[in-house]
Structure 1
Amino acid sequence: MTVSDLLNRLIMAVLTLMGVAVIVFCLLRIVPGDPVAMMISPSATPADIAALRAHYGLDLGLAQQFAIWFGDVLKGDFGTSISQRRDVLELIGGRLPATLELAFAALVFGVLTGGMIAVLGALARGTKLDPALDFINGLFLAVPDFVWALALVLLLGVFWPVFPLSGRIDPGLTTDFHTDFYLIESLVTFKFPAFADILAHMVMPMLALGLPLAAIVVRTLKEALAEAMVQDYVLLARLKGMSPLRLVLQEALRNAVGPTLTLTGVQFTFMIGGTVIVERIFSYPGLGNMAIDAVINRDLPLIQGIVLTFGAIFILVNILVDLIAAWLNPRSAAHG
């Protein structure tokens, strides 16, 4: 990817975020419901309601509301949450690290698990194990993340309670954190009891998000390895006496990983969006859980800030995947 390509992607990213901002702003004001109605008391007078609407700028026209809001966003001011009466960026900054840690843990689990099974499938190609792996993987592909979450709650939280059902850390742990990245901070500061507890709380939501991703990695990488294994350079290495495992890992894998990487990047962005339901099921205090509360409370500034945050993550991840793909296969990127 050349510098001009990167600049074009960044320009498109800015335009895309602007489009997302326009769409979400308009949709939130079209759907039924008045956020002020969620805040007023039964004894509020019409004057009180009018003053509250004026305070949040809801008495202005749609175009004027958007101009004021978007101008503030460009200055780094996403407004004040209607339901929590706190700065929107402060709320997002406090919850985003939990979601990112969960999503990256699920990504690592999904890629490593899916990669190992795909390699096993490539080695077992033509044997009785091959169709069995395809059948099992097909079942995993058919089950969405929220169904995994509910199943894990019943299996590992109720019938065989080995992991915590909710939360991010045991309230009894009095560890003081300097950042909101609890998992990373507890590891680098050698607070291993806190690290183990945080990881235990993360296991079930991580599995719920990571298992569908692992199934996608298996299908994509297994097909790519099958195509790579019949290429001339692999056949030549086979004639030289290279073992099947070395053929897959040393020769085929490096050329098969490109399509898998691209699809994994796309799926990762979808997985971050999937944290909304999974975090709710496990009462995990991340950005997705807060998004549901914001929708229930008709908290327009908070919803807008969360949607823009998810949009920015989606765009940045896709740009990063393109850069990694270009680094791994520069000739293909130059040709593209």
Structure 2
Amino acid sequence: MIARLVLHRAGLAVATLFGVAVVVFLLLRVAPGDPIAMMIAPGASPEDIQRLRAAYGLDRSLIEQFGLWLGAIAQGDFGTSISLRVGVGGALLSRLPATLELCVAALAFAVLLGGGVAVLGTLLARKTGEAVIDAVNGLVLAVPDFIWALAFVILLGVVYPILPLSGRIDPTLPADFSTRFYLLESLVTGQWRVARDVLAHMAMPVLALGLPLAAVIARVLKASLNEAMLQDYVLLARIRGRSPLGLVLGEALRNAAGPALALTGVQFTFLIGGTVIVERIFSYPGIGNLAIDAVINRDLPLIQGLVLLFGLLFILVNIAVDLLAVALNPRLRHG
């Protein structure tokens, strides 16, 4: 079952990425403006302009450009960034670890907070505390991540400056990295001072990204838990004298986690997309910040590479969620 699911999803992933490639390629080509104009030095001759257009393949027909682009991608070449003057693949790989660490940390925070709120709300069912939790959860859910980011900048960066406002690590801190996964590597190698500094720089972006997701998880999981608490197996366990917390965590949570897990996977893909604005606010050097620079500079090769990367990440997250759902629910293995 799992192997068949992986093969099916892999086939859909290839088709989806091809569709994404077609759409982004055409949209960027029909958009107004000439990316080459941003690279032209004052007083450049028409021959220089034509030579530069030929170097990026922009002097060919759309079909030829698309074919050459796909052919190069198949060989691992995503082209050269117009604004950065470096390979697109290298630029993406240098920024991707920062965004992945940020998103995984935000997801972990959201799952822990949202799950805890859902369990607490279930234990306080039909009491005043439940109404308070629902009201606060609704308020958190109504505020988008970039508003949370600005609020944290003012509160924790200006009024009470206890956290760094920008960047990923203190540039004056002595740190020796062999990879771009600063947090993971510093924890594995025991560079605790570096790890604390990296976590301090991540704190506000993680809070901004994680709070809305935590509110979504809490709402969905709490509804599933309330429904599960009415099932016969939970009632039987209650008759046997199991504590309320034991009923929620030991009996209801396993069957109630399915809908929350599926929604978390979907929301995680939006979380990755949400890094675009949040990373910009905190000058965090991830692919979200890179995406804004690429759009401002109308860097066609870089934008194309970023869109494909975002699409690939979304697909991989959905596949992982499907596999996890099958692993947690044995009945799905025979579907």
TM-score in terms of structure 2 length: 0.99
Instruction: Name the CA distance, whole Å, in 2 between partners of 1:215 and 1:313.
Output: 23
Instruction: Name the CA distance, whole Å, in 2 between partners of 1:332 and 1:15.
Output: 25
- Which residue is equivalent to 1:19? 19
Instruction: Name the CA distance, whole Å, in 1 between partners of 2:201 and 2:190.
Output: 18
Structure 2 counterpart of 1:207, one-letter code: L
- Which residue is equivalent to 1:129? 129
Partner of 2:245: helix, strand, or coil? helix
Structure 2 counterpart of 1:62, one-letter code: L
How far did 1:48 drift?
Answer: 1.2
How far did 1:264 drift?
Answer: 0.3
- Which residue is equivalent to 1:173? 173
How far did 1:47 drift?
Answer: 1.4
Structure 1 counterpart of 2:75, one-letter code: K
Q: Which runs of 4+ in 1 moved over 2 A?
A: 1-6, 332-335
- Which residue is equivalent to 1:316? 316
- Which residue is equivalent to 1:224? 224
Partner of 2:222: helix, strand, or coil? helix
What are the superposed Cα offsets for residues 63-112 of structure 1, whole Å, 9 maximum, x if unpaired?
11000001100111101111111111111110000000000000000000
- Which residue is equivalent to 2:293? 293
C-alpha contact 2:2 2:323 (8 A) present in aligned 1? no
Partner of 1:135: helix, strand, or coil? helix
Identical pairs, percent:
65
Structure 2 counterpart of 1:298, one-letter code: R
1:252 and 2:249 equivalent?
A: no
1:40 and 2:40 equivalent?
A: yes
- Which residue is equivalent to 1:199? 199
- Which residue is equivalent to 1:305? 305
* Equivalent residues, number: 335
Partner of 2:44: helix, strand, or coil? coil
Compute the RMSD of aligned alpha carbons: 0.8
- Structure 2: which 5+ runs fail to align? none
Instruction: Name the CA distance, whole Å, in 2 between partners of 1:30 and 1:154.
Output: 40
Instruction: Name the CA distance, whole Å, in 2 between partners of 1:91 and 1:334.
Output: 43
1:237 and 2:220 equivalent?
A: no
- TM alignment of 1:134-213, pairs within 5 A: 134-213=134-213
TM-score in terms of structure 1 length: 0.98
C-alpha contact 2:17 2:312 (8 A) present in aligned 1? yes
- Structure 1: which 5+ runs fail to align? none
Instruction: Name the CA distance, whole Å, in 2 between partners of 1:262 and 1:334.
Output: 19
How far did 1:333 drift?
Answer: 4.5
Bigger drift between 43-52 and 309-318 goes to: 43-52
- Which residue is equivalent to 1:5? 5
How far did 1:138 drift?
Answer: 0.6
How far did 1:165 drift?
Answer: 0.3
- TM alignment of 1:268-287, pairs within 5 A: 268-287=268-287
